[in-house]
A and B are shown apart, each in its own frame.
Chain A
């Protein structure tokens, strides 16, 4: 589905990524892990189109999207959440979620302003779609609350919901459980799995939290200082000596420190 080949990215001589390749297979959950400063977020910003790499290609569903702007990538079916919650304050949960459907709607300023039938129909459909996603992620109780009033874990879930309304081909999750307590983490894992199973969405996530990654991923890529050092199934990665070395000890230890 999403293919990232040999990305090289440097900021004024400082290498952030050197030769990173990741591919996210259709209907699977792929995780990129690595210690802080390994270049995970840089990689995500390359994939979303905020950073232009010096070298390398990003292909989505067979199409080279390397030169596309972020919003064009959204139109190609790429959705993303942010590590620091990026919801729109002063709006309700439902309105925030509706924002995600931008790429599916067509209303321009005139048809919207005059409330032409096309806009009415679109808004009615959107209402339905938002309701579906709200149900899927169990946000019914808070649907009319202001997002800033919600607990942290719920806000993250709203962000996920907004990404899902885009009906993405590929869903990028930037540290989906960062800063969460144990209960929130297991809930989020459950929802990510549900997204994969119910919607058959391809997921690429970066995460610090080992237990979450090991628990839900189908494939894992490990980065260290901007370079890929291992990839494979959770079991393969867990037993890879390089990975153990990069994490200064055993995987168990990192799990503890990340938690």
Chain B
């Protein structure tokens, strides 16, 4: 295979893997839009969902569909508890404090999962077929390809939903300004809770997909910190831009794997982040922050 072909193949696989990251990014941006909260616990919410799925399907031997429903319900419940107990009381506090709260929640979830399920790798029942998908002569691993397809369908579906539903309108109004939203008769609290539900859904699906493509450990969620970092640099402005960030991470990881030993994959997004900070310190698309004097 020529180097070019190899590059293209890796790129495609990478972008396919990026589908899941885009899903994670969507969960992050929705919460940000609703309440200007950066959710550093997104990855742990996702990881926890995968363990819920594991518990439902393996421990309680439910089928994958029922298992998915159970996992989803559990994830939404956890998200609502987090929002109600830890995020809502922080309303109006400095963003740094809220960042630390979500970071602390991530730590709690990692710890609890570690205590309940232990630190070892686990396998969840395969819900994705292994048989590879061929794009012309390019070979895409079956699970990655199917996970990508599912992720894209969910992302597109959710974006359409947010675009056209009443809830989506309310979300956009709240993103514009909480005061405006209030004056339009929108209950901003409900919008924030709603955004956590959306994040739980994207987290649950991405978690189960990720645990299918890789294996399940309490550190499954670490990848979301990568995604979050790149998303923040992307400017948090548009949902589209944020999705691109997801694909960029997938692609970068794959390309790193092509040139460097595989361990380097875990830090490439951070290296990218530092390079961007050096070259374009105001973020990729972001303008200069203007503060009221």
Is B135 an interface position by the 8 A CB rule? no
Which B residues, 242 to 293, have Cβ-Cβ distances below 8 Å to chain A?
293
Docked pose: A34 CA to B293 CA in angstroms: 19
A50 to chain B, nearest CB (A): 6
**Please, which residues of chain A bring their CB within 8 A of the CB of B293?**
41, 45, 50, 82
Docked pose: A103 CA to B253 CA in angstroms: 49
Q: Interface size (B, Cβ < 8 Å)? A: 1
B293 to chain A, nearest CB (A): 6
Instruction: Considering the complex, give the chain B residue whose CB is closest to the CB of A174.
Output: B293
**Please, which residues of chain B bring their CB within 8 A of the CB of A45?**
293
Q: Chain B binding site: helix, strand, loop or mixed by DSSP?
A: loop
Docked pose: A50 CA to B293 CA in angstroms: 9
**Please, which residues of chain B bring their CB within 8 A of the CB of A41?**
293
In the complex, the number of residue pairs spanning A and B with C-beta atoms less than 8 Å apart equals 4
A122 to chain B, nearest CB (A): 30
**Please, which residues of chain B bring their CB within 8 A of the CB of A82?**
293
A211 to chain B, nearest CB (A): 26
A71 to chain B, nearest CB (A): 15
Docked pose: A45 CA to B293 CA in angstroms: 8
A105 to chain B, nearest CB (A): 25
B291 to chain A, nearest CB (A): 9
Instruction: Considering the complex, give the chain A residue whose CB is closest to the CB of B290.
Output: A11
B92 to chain A, nearest CB (A): 14
B266 to chain A, nearest CB (A): 36
Docked pose: A45 CA to B291 CA in angstroms: 12
Residue-wise interface mask of A (24-48) relative to B, using a CB-CB cutoff of 8 A (1 in contact, 0 not): 0000000000000000010001000
Residue-wise interface mask of A (77-95) relative to B, using a CB-CB cutoff of 8 A (1 in contact, 0 not): 0000010000000000000
**Please, which residues of chain B bring their CB within 8 A of the CB of A50?**
293
Docked pose: A50 CA to B292 CA in angstroms: 11
B290 to chain A, nearest CB (A): 9
Docked pose: A146 CA to B293 CA in angstroms: 23
Docked pose: A109 CA to B263 CA in angstroms: 40
A11 to chain B, nearest CB (A): 9
Docked pose: A19 CA to B293 CA in angstroms: 22
A14 to chain B, nearest CB (A): 14
Instruction: Considering the complex, give the chain B residue whose CB is closest to the CB of A86.
Output: B293
Docked pose: A96 CA to B30 CA in angstroms: 40
Docked pose: A247 CA to B293 CA in angstroms: 26
Docked pose: A60 CA to B238 CA in angstroms: 44
Docked pose: A82 CA to B293 CA in angstroms: 8
B215 to chain A, nearest CB (A): 48
Instruction: Considering the complex, give the chain A residue whose CB is closest to the CB of B291.
Output: A50
A147 to chain B, nearest CB (A): 18
Docked pose: A249 CA to B21 CA in angstroms: 63
Docked pose: A41 CA to B292 CA in angstroms: 11
Docked pose: A50 CA to B288 CA in angstroms: 13
Instruction: Considering the complex, give the chain B residue whose CB is closest to the CB of A44.
Output: B293
- Name 4 interchain pairs, CB-CB below 8 A, sorted by A: A41-B293, A45-B293, A50-B293, A82-B293
**Measuring CB to CB, which residues of chain B are less than 8 angstroms from any residue of chain A?**
293
The 4 A-B pairs at the shortest CB distance, nearest first, are namely: A45-B293, A50-B293, A82-B293, A41-B293
**Measuring CB to CB, which residues of chain A are less than 8 angstroms from any residue of chain B?**
41, 45, 50, 82
